[in-house]
């Protein structure tokens, strides 16, 4: 099993690749034996490559949902110390900067929704633009764009999209500090000027779900969840702006690598020293991209509330939490007994602070940060809580979803969109999408078993299972 990488089993749910060649630290993978066996060799190759980067601290990590990505594996986590020549990598953040998930409580049970779910699906589909190149009703001029890139979800709330109380339940309280809109190109601004409040395409979706099972009643109560509650998951990111930032800075980093004396094992790992001019420019742009994603999910939340107010007036949509997946954030972590300021890259991985962490909202601090694990279209999703041991295991990081088991092209060869919609409809799940090809690409069978991924994350100690939710309505690109 992946013998070329001398994989050693540390425990039932933890595996290690000792440093070899130019690796500065080991590679650590959290997974059970079945998940490890199914991982593409490219995951291990990319993890070993990440471990060669300057200034990396402790280990390069892969989460249970890890699969082949651009430079870093998706599901990859790595932390760097700027004072030791550490780098920031655009490939270690990803193209869809701050792609993430937010969960909303509705104040309703699934029984309140079941007879209206087709009407609800149609109304959500009309109100929230989806699909490749989708545009919304909001047009931002250059001044408005700069304000949004600076303010994130706080800007959105100030514009009337949502409630100030929402901000307490968003990472960074809705606004990523250190954003530099001056580093956002005219091309990136143009791509985003009409895309605010849109879901986009790919695996992005809005789902109305039923809380099907509670694993931990105490934490679920703190999260305001009970069995048969109706909840909403919104999964989307920074749209065209984030992609443009990634595209441009990857090019800049490749061109500058030799001048920074960085020997790249793979050009897709293009990076720059954190303390360099290029590194600081990317961080300013990336943080602006995070604010774009936070504002986007905030606007979609407002649109969703409008739909529920029309279709189900008794609903009261309150924000449980909003998590980001593709980021690099400055955090303080204890390494070998010493507190260090580190630049933690999470690509297709979720921040998962444990109980007591000061960055968790006060109402949730005693039980840990909500960790939202989105399933694939038509399959269950999960709500977890950060664990105390996550600090030493993975810099407080956990998985982010099911992880693809096959490419989109392979999926379209195996499934037809219309048949997928019909099959899910027979199970009582209403799908709305502008693209049957997109539905085929995101067929449930194209992904790993999300329950196996979540079980592995819990057994490894990365996070604690709280609840399982099942979709009843899905609007996707």
> Is 169 annotated as a binding-site member?
no
Q: Are 323 and 100 in contact (CB under 8 A)?
A: yes
To the question of whether residue 96 is assigned a binding role by annotation, the answer is: yes
Q: Please tell me whether 276 is known to bind a ligand.
A: no
Does 205 show up as a binding residue in the annotation?
A: yes
374 among the known binding-site residues? yes
- φ/ψ region of 16 (left if φ > 0, alpha if ψ in -120 to 50, else beta) reads beta
The answer to whether 376 is annotated as binding is: yes
Answer yes or no: is 377 a known binding residue: yes
400: annotated active-site residue: yes
3-state secondary structure of 420: helix
**325 annotated binding-site participant:** yes
Residues 6+ apart with CB under 8 A from 204: 99, 130, 235, 236, 237, 476, 477
Q: Is 3 annotated as a binding residue?
A: no
Longest dimension (CA), the chain: 63
Instruction: Identify the CA nearest to 55 among candidates 77, 76, 24.
Output: 24
94 is in an annotated binding site: no
Q: Is 64 exposed, middle or buried (0-12, 13-18, 19+ CB in 10 A)?
A: buried
User: What is the DSSP track for 171-218?
Assistant: GGGG--TT--GGGS-HHHHHHHTT-TT---STT-EEEEEEEEEES-HH
Q: Are strands 100-109 and 318-324 parallel, antiparallel or unpaired?
A: antiparallel
Set 169, 243, 382, 400: catalytic member: 400
Please give the order of strands across the beta sheet that includes 74-80. Answer: 7-11, 14-17, 27-30, 60-67, 74-80, 338-347, 327-335
400 annotated as a binding-site residue: yes
Find out whether 312 is annotated in a ligand binding site.
no
SS3 362: coil
The reply, when asked if residue 403 is annotated as ligand binding, is yes
207 is in an annotated binding site: yes
Binding residues for GMP: 203-207, 325-326, 374-377, 381, 400-403, 476
Binding residues: 96, 203-207, 235, 325-326, 374-377, 381, 400-403, 476
Catalytic residue ranges: 400
Binding residues for Mn(2+): 96, 204, 235, 325
């Amino acid at each position: 099993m992946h013998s070329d990488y001398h994989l050693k089993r540390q425990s039932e749910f933890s595996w290690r690749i000792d440093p070899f060649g130019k690796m500065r630290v080991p590679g650590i993978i959290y997974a059970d034996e079945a998940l490890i066996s199914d991982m593409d060799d490219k995951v291990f190759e990319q993890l070993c490559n990440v471990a060669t980067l300057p200034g990396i601290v402790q280990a390069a990590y892969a989460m249970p949902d890890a699969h082949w990505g651009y430079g870093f594996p998706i599901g990859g986590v790595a932390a760097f110390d700027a004072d030791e020549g550490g780098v920031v990598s655009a490939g270690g953040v990803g193209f869809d900067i701050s792609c993430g998930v937010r969960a909303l409580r509705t104040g309703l049970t699934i029984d309140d929704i079941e007879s209206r779910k087709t009407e609800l699906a149609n109304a959500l589909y009309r109100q929230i633009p989806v699909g490749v190149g989708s545009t919304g009703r909001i047009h931002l001029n250059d001044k408005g764009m700069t304000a949004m890139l600076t303010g994130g979800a706080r800007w959105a709330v100030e514009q009337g999209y949502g409630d100030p109380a929402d901000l307490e339940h968003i990472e960074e309280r809705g606004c990523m500090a250190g954003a530099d809109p001056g580093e956002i190109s005219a091309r990136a601004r143009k791509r985003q000027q009409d895309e605010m409040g849109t879901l986009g395409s790919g695996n992005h979706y809005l789902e109305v779900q039923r809380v099907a099972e509670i694993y931990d009643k105490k934490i679920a109560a703190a999260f305001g969840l009970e069995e048969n509650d109706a909840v909403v998951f919104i999964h989307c990111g920074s749209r065209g702006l984030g992609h443009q930032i990634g595209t441009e800075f990857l090019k800049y980093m490749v061109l500058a690598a030799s001048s920074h004396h960085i020997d790249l094992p793979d050009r897709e790992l293009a990076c720059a020293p954190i303390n360099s001019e290029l590194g600081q420019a990317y961080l300013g742009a990336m943080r602006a991209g995070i604010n774009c994603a936070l504002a986007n999910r905030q606007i979609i939340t407002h649109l969703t509330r409008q739909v529920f107010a029309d279709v189900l007036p008794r609903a009261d949509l309150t924000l449980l939490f909003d998590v980001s997946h593709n980021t690099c954030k400055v955090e303080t972590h204890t390494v070998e007994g010493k507190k260090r300021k580190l630049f933690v890259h999470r690509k297709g991985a979720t921040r998962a602070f444990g109980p007591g962490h000061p960055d968790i909202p006060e109402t949730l601090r005693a039980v840990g940060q909500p960790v939202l694990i989105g399933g694939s279209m038509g399959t269950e999703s999960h709500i977890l809580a950060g664990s105390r041991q996550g600090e030493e295991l993975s810099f407080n990081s956990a998985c982010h979803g099911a992880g693809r088991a096959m490419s989109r092209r392979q999926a379209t060869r195996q499934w037809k969109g219309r048949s997928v919609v019909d099959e899910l409809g027979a199970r009582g799940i209403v799908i709305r999408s502008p693209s049957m090809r997109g539905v085929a690409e995101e067929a449930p069978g194209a992904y790993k078993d999300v329950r196996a991924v979540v079980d592995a994350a819990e057994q490894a100690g990365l996070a604690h299972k709280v609840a399982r939710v099942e979709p009843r309505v899905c609007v996707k690109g």
